[in-house]
């Protein structure tokens, strides 16, 4: 996509021809790449989740204040991280789709939305299960819980908007704009425990400080987060392959692919 004059002036040496950054932005070339990558990501997800569950249930020590009930954070915290992270990735692809007008970006965004909604729901549900023994209530109208609930509604809105518009290109662009407007909620969720003095505890893990928990607990959480991350990629790739086949069903290569499958 870069202009020829720029390429001619470029002082950088070329390594066997210029890399075409947009090669895999075409659904046709991305389809087999995703297909080849899915087993690897799925295997990594299974591996990390098994290791993470082992560490969190058998290795990590019992919490001094919260007893055994705290172990739900090994699902809860990584799911909450993923719910926000997937929204950012989704908004990134949505924005890229609006800027570069690439079809695959919109497909990727709509493939990510259900996984993001799933993790948001898991985070809310496990939070409720943890809240009952610890706070004595399934749900409190706390800033972080409320903003996470709004995130779930934003995912639903995105999915509903994509589903309601018949023309897929228009659906992608409209949903992309909505996703970008909704991004404002992510910092609100993340910083809600700092901005408002609420019941939900502050972050136990941060990039700038040492974690305020035992090393094995931290390891369990990171392993689970990696497992969820790999799962999200695998699930999104499977879904995006379905979307590609559905939208490109009138093309030559899909017809050929379907013949091979029989």
Distance between CA atoms of residues 227 and 49, nearest Å:
5
Question: Please, which residue, 78 or 182, has the CB nearer to another protein?
Answer: 182
> Tell me, what DSSP letter sits at residue 13?
P
For the packed helices 168-182 and 143-164, what is the interaxial angle rounded to 10 degrees?
Answer: 170
Question: Please, which residue, 163 or 255, has the CB nearer to another protein?
Answer: 163
- Interacting positions 130-149 with another protein (CB under 8 A): 146
Tokens representing 19 are 């890399």
Residue 199 interacting with another protein (CB under 8 A):
no
Q: Largest Cα–Cα distance in the chain?
A: 68
Residue 176 Cβ vs another protein, minimum distance, rounded to whole Å: 9
Segment lying near another protein (by CB under 8 A), choices 118-126, 154-162, 202-210, 248-256: 154-162
Find the Cα–Cα–Cα–Cα dihedral 168, 173, 96, 114, rounded to 10°. -70
> Tell me, what DSSP letter sits at residue 62?
P
Residue 177 interacting with another protein (CB under 8 A):
yes
Strand intervals (E) in the chain:
none
Segment lying near another protein (by CB under 8 A), choices 17-25, 32-40, 153-161, 197-205: 153-161
Residue 59 interacting with another protein (CB under 8 A):
no
Segment lying near another protein (by CB under 8 A), choices 3-11, 16-24, 167-175, 244-252: 167-175
First to last CA, the chain: 38
Q: Which residues here bind another protein, judged by CB under 8 A? A: 146, 150, 153-154, 156-157, 160-161, 164-165, 169-170, 173-174, 177-178, 180-182, 185
């Amino acid at each position: 996509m870069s202009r020829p004059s720029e390429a001619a002036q470029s002082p950088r040496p070329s390594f066997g021809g210029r890399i075409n950054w947009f090669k895999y932005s075409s659904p046709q070339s991305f389809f087999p790449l995703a297909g080849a990558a899915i087993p690897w990501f799925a295997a990594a997800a299974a591996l990390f989740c098994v290791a993470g569950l082992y560490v969190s249930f058998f290795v990590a020590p019992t919490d001094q204040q919260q007893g055994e009930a705290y172990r739900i954070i090994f699902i809860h915290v990584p799911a909450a991280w993923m719910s926000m992270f997937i929204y950012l990735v989704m908004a990134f692809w949505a924005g890229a789709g609006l800027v570069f007008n690439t079809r695959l970006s919109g497909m990727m965004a709509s493939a990510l939305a259900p996984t993001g909604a799933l993790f948001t729901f898991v985070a809310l549900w496990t939070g409720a299960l943890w809240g009952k023994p610890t706070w004595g209530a399934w749900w409190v109208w706390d800033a972080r819980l409320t903003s996470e609930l709004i995130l779930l509604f934003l995912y639903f809105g995105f999915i509903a908007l994509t589903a309601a518009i018949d023309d897929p290109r228009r659906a992608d662009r409209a949903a992309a704009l909505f996703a970008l407007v909704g991004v404002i909620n992510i910092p609100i969720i993340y910083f809600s425990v700092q901005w408002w003095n609420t019941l939900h505890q502050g972050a136990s893990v941060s990039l700038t400080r040492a974690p305020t928990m035992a090393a094995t607990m931290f390891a369990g959480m990171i392993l689970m987060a990696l497992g969820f991350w790999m799962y999200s990629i695998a699930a999104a790739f499977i879904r995006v392959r379905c979307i590609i086949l559905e939208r490109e069903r009138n093309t030559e290569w899909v017809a050929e692919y379907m013949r091979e499958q029989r």
